[in-house]
Amino acid sequence: MDPWNQAVAHIERDIADGAAHRTTGKIDVAALARITLTSEHHFRRMFSVLAGMPVSEYVRRRRMTIAASAVLTGHEPLQDIATRFGYTSADAFSRAFTAVHGTGPTGARRTGAVLRSQPPLRFSLSVKGTTQVDYRLTDEAPFTLVGQRRTMPLVHHGPNPDIEHFREQLGLDALEDISALSTRTPSGVLAVSTEFTEDRDDGSTFEFWYAAATDHPPAPGTGHDALPVPAHTWLVLSSHTARTDEVQQLWAQAYGEWFPANPHQPLPAPELLATVLDDDGRPDHAELWLAVAPTP
């Protein structure tokens, strides 16, 4: 875990240098990825899983933790503090300060105000690999995703009400129509997630599809959208049941257990979630498909 701790130390130096006017204090995520020998895309996803928050949120918390001391002394104009910590205006700084501490700079200066401190992260190795991760890698030729899509907020834990509402709006007939278009593996109606915002914060937006993998583009007049997917090697992880909480853990299993143990990195491609049915046609378990490539 040393490279990850070196990346955290790099963040701390950048924040301190910015606060001391030695640099702009801007965090170069590409440089952090180079320290950890990963791609920027992989770094962001791994950091979110390992730290439990996106790297942008961690940086904001650390900046506001350090900035709180300057705010509390009250000797420096708020605009000057904002500039030292990488914000273009006092208003932007105040919003970030409030998001972290639950109160603005003015409220923080009142006697008895409760603030929040984010300590520097320290990654350490723990013995968690006692359960093996079952997976498979499969090479798939190019295919087209055909179906219906909608932009919606990201929810990391529990059901996403926007997805449920989308499904209700489409109705069973539309979903059966999409399923009938399936000619490729993974088969059936797929829950497809793509076009994520950079750090995948809870509540940030992404594009969600109900779609089928097919060799053919949609026929004119069907009203379906299409998304071409190039040839990839796909990592496939399976849940034991179809429960929402267990299915959501597939992402944590992929980025928290599989990628650290295997010489592969994820590619910025659509993420596919297939529901596998039992002999009676009822949901039995789910498969998460992630496009991967060997680590250079």
What residue type is 77 in one-letter code? P
- pLDDT surpassing 80 at residue 84: yes
When divided into structural domains, the chain yields a total of 2
The answer to whether 107 and 100 have CB atoms below 8 angstroms apart is no
Confidence category of residue 261, pLDDT binned at 50, 70, 90: confident
Last residue of a domain, one of 73, 108, 143: 108
265 with 149, same domain: the answer is yes
- pLDDT surpassing 70 at residue 128: no
- pLDDT tens for 156-214 read 667 788 999 999 999 999 999 999 999 999 999 999 999 987 767 666 789 999 999 99
- pLDDT tens for 22-78 read 888 889 999 999 999 888 888 888 888 888 888 999 999 999 999 998 898 888 899
Cβ count near 126 (within 10 Å) = 7
Whether this prediction's pTM lies above 0.75 is answered by no
Domain with 175 in it: 135-294
The answer to whether 216 and 143 have CB atoms below 8 angstroms apart is no
Instruction: Choose among 85, 65, 80, 78: nearest CA to 23.
Output: 85
The answer to whether 292 and 264 have CB atoms below 8 angstroms apart is yes
Whether 63 is in a domain gets the answer yes
Cβ count near 296 (within 10 Å) = 8
CATH number (domain holding residue 69): 1.10.10.60
**Span 236-262, mean pLDDT?**
86
103 with 140, same domain: the answer is no
